[in-house]
Structure 1
């Protein structure tokens, strides 16, 4: 016996005062309605309705059960209605995980504009460069940068991420500007060291693959620090243009060895399910798609 169906059958009979009218309202046969009510009475071990040939009446136990059952059914209907509204219109709390540097530079205007268009959505943005488990940690969406491996998660590419080799004009004036890969030999290197994160792939690996032996280095797990160090003349860095773009445009950094750029990566929105996706998630992904432009605005220097 389905308890909810039996409750619904019983309360409808009690409200309508007739098995026939209850059956019409529920769009099922009178026999099935009667079966549900009989099964419910057997389950409860008490009679809920006194039946006559013309009408049914609630027993004392039936009156008490009807009040509680109606309240339960009303609450179920309210919850289902709320979920339906959430599917039809974007609302509720959206939990997003994003890389620290990208979010610091580029997410604030986007989030503000998204909320203007979807005021019923609240946003909980958590910044972390590690790869979060979006299911275990309760995130709706994770923004990730890299070459994504296959997984059970769904990933939508939002924008390309270009990597460039840069140094300040002052550093190059003092140490020389490399024109070939071999000229990097002995230069100071500002290395991204968050090796747990395969979003920004460890760039020293790329240099080793090219057979380049570097001099003293500064290693840091934050790209912004490395870019600022490069601007101050600390060495050569390989960082995304979404961080370096403004400094390149202002002449504080110079792009080197463009013909040897590492393979571009991508900014991806990663989420758990494609089917029955909450409207807040679908709306956020649709909003991000194309928001940064093609090419992204940070590459227009």
Structure 2
């Protein structure tokens, strides 16, 4: 008995629901599929399936074995796929989720150059600042910004993300330039509603306190809106330099309290753990690595 063939036969029967459909998928006779499953049960010394004339039912042992066997087969296919990708052109539709402001400002040139290098790959880019469920929502890759916690997903660091407090020269002339964190209590805060508080302490704590005391500050779930409001003189914004960099370089915004700058975050490419890594995904991960530079080009304003 070839154990891998028997394992694949068993997994296919479970996935397809019948021996006949499994045989069609494996391009072999139902009798041979049944023989493989029976030999596997004999080898393991347990019954994996209860068979009736119409349906099959997994036993408790079969349920546990199916999960592990499926993973083993995925690993084997993944290994063979990686070797095959050396000779195979990346192709297919690549579905990517990315943060709104980052994608609008920085993704178009990247995707254009990627498709020039890999013309057989189509792109479906969905912009959303919420944390998408990669597997459930059918994404190949999600770009995320922050301090990522451990999970069942694989995260590849792409670039550092620097957060700065900034305001327009006009606003600072009218309200004064803060010299200490305590001075933020008297200033207007343009708050990003998805801000990760852990990533921006103690700065975020002081800005939040200022907002509570005033009760009239601006809140938005889009960083571009807040940066444009800051340029217009509406208050102080705590935003990443991939949004504020050009305005700082042009003198429309000034960095304040640089010594209190939060610890940098990072841009990550996140994809499903244990997923069969298609050539289109691997090619994109290789292409985006180092693309923005380190420090990234949007930080070249000082």
- Same-fold call, TM > 0.5? yes
Match of 1:121 in 2: 121
Could you say what secondary structure the match of 2:219 adopts? Answer: strand
Name the residue aligned to 2:25. none
Question: Cα deviation per residue 1:29-73 (whole Å; 9 max; x = unaligned)?
Answer: xxxxxxx99x67xx9xxxxxxxxxxxxxxxxxxxxxxxxxxxxxx
Query: In the superposition, relative to structure 1, how do residues 258 and 168 fare at CA in structure 2: closer, same or farther (>3 Å)?
Result: same
Is the contact between residue 192 and residue 223 of structure 2 (CA under 8 Å) also seen in structure 1?
yes
TM (normalized to structure 1)? Answer: 0.68
C-alpha displacement of 1:237:
0.4
Distance 2:192 2:210 in 1: 16
Q: 1:280 to 1:201 in 2, by over 3 A?
A: farther
Provide the C-alpha distance between the structure 2 equivalents of 1:232 and 1:218, rounded to a whole number of angstroms: 13
> CA separation in 2, counterparts of 1:120 and 1:290?
23
For residue 202 of structure 1, report the CA deviation from its aligned partner. Answer: 8.1
Q: Over aligned residue pairs, what C-alpha RMSD do you find?
A: 2.9
Label 1:106 to 1:226 Cα distance change in 2 as closer, same or farther (>3 A).
same
Which runs of structure 2 are paired with 1:149-298 in the superposition (5 Å)?
149-194=149-194, 198=196, 206-208=203-205, 212-214=209-211, 215=214, 216-273=216-273, 276-298=276-298
Counterpart mapping for 1:3-152 below 5 A:
88-152=88-152
Q: Distance in 2 between matches of 1:227 and 1:213?
A: 18
Q: Which protein is bigger by CA-based radius of gyration?
A: 1
Q: How far apart are residue 207 of structure 1 and its match?
A: 2.8
Structure 1 residue 231 displacement after superposition: 0.1
SS at match of 1:185: helix
Aligned-partner SS, 1:182: helix
Distance 1:207 1:112 in 2: 37
CA distance in 2, matches of 1:294, 1:202: 20
Partners of 1:285 and 1:97 lie apart in 2 by 14
Post-superposition shift, 1:273? Answer: 3.4
TM-score w.r.t. length of structure 2: 0.68
SS of match in other structure, 1:247: helix
Offset, 1:300: 0.3
**Structure 1 Cα separation of the partners of residues 145 and 253 of structure 2:** 23
2: distance between equivalents of 1:94 and 1:257? 41
Q: Distance in 2 between matches of 1:240 and 1:182?
A: 22
Residues 221, 103 of structure 1: CA spacing in aligned structure 2 closer, same or farther, 3 A cutoff? same
**2:186 match: secondary structure:** coil
Partner SS for 2:136: coil
Q: Which moved more, 1:181-190 or 1:231-240?
A: 181-190
Q: After superposition, give the CA deviation of every residue in 1:248-297 in whole Å (9 maximum; x if it has no partner).
A: 00000000000000111000000013674111101101100000001000
Structure 2: tracts of 5 or more residues without a match: 6-27, 36-76
